[in-house]
Amino acid sequence: MSFNGANYHGWQIQPNSISVQEIIEKCVSTILNKKISVVGAGRTDTGVHASYFCAHFDLDTVIVDKSDFIYKLNSFLPSDIAIKNIYLVKQDFHARFDAVSRTYQYKLNTSKNPFLSNDSYFLKKEIDFCKMNLAALKLFDYTDFKCFSKSNTDVHTFDCDIRSASWTFKENYWVFEISANRFLRNMVRAIVGTLIEIGEGKYETNHMDKVIKSKNREVAGYSVPAQGLYLTNIIYPANFLLDE
């Protein structure tokens, strides 16, 4: 599926706030005429988008006409959520715990553009992207990223295996793309904020080493706005689908 997160308080259901998970569960339950719980590949924060997202639900019957089911789902869902495809998966498959890699992109534009204002971060400054890419290389030297994690997060480990991280220019905006086996809450937005401060000239590239070694969120940079962040890919093991 894909969704524009502007109108939602993230993926996960929470009291007194509208979430993507809640909307999808209601639609699936209505179509199947039974209470269905949908489990997502992970949490996304308020306002964060996903051009590629996966979720699973359990059903005691087989959906025979997948095309019709997808059509009905998209008819019920609001325009900012779209179902792309559904698959029959193995009994023990889990959308969150079976994911082996996730990729995020952060969109940043340095010139005013009315067509990007709601879906990217407009920074009214000149910044050095070469310097930011050099600083991003430092991420590969570490595994403990507590410094980029939201405070009071209930996790057992702050270790992440970062596989790629770089800035590239696409048409009229910059994109920071980062892939890892897992991400901590607010991690990507904090990394981007730290890189921007380096790109602005506030710090040299070795500041990234100091930030990561500190294991202190207050040493890292600011958290950039949510509207520029997109979950763009999730990779699962090759054998999770059932033959149909």
Question: Which residues have a catalytic role annotated?
Answer: 45
Give bridge partners of residue 102 from the DSSP assignment.
180, 234
Query: What distances in angstroms separate CA 71 from CA 22, 27, 237, 239, one per listed residue?
Result: 19, 12, 28, 27
Q: What angle do CA 52, 96, 108 make, to 5 degrees?
A: 40
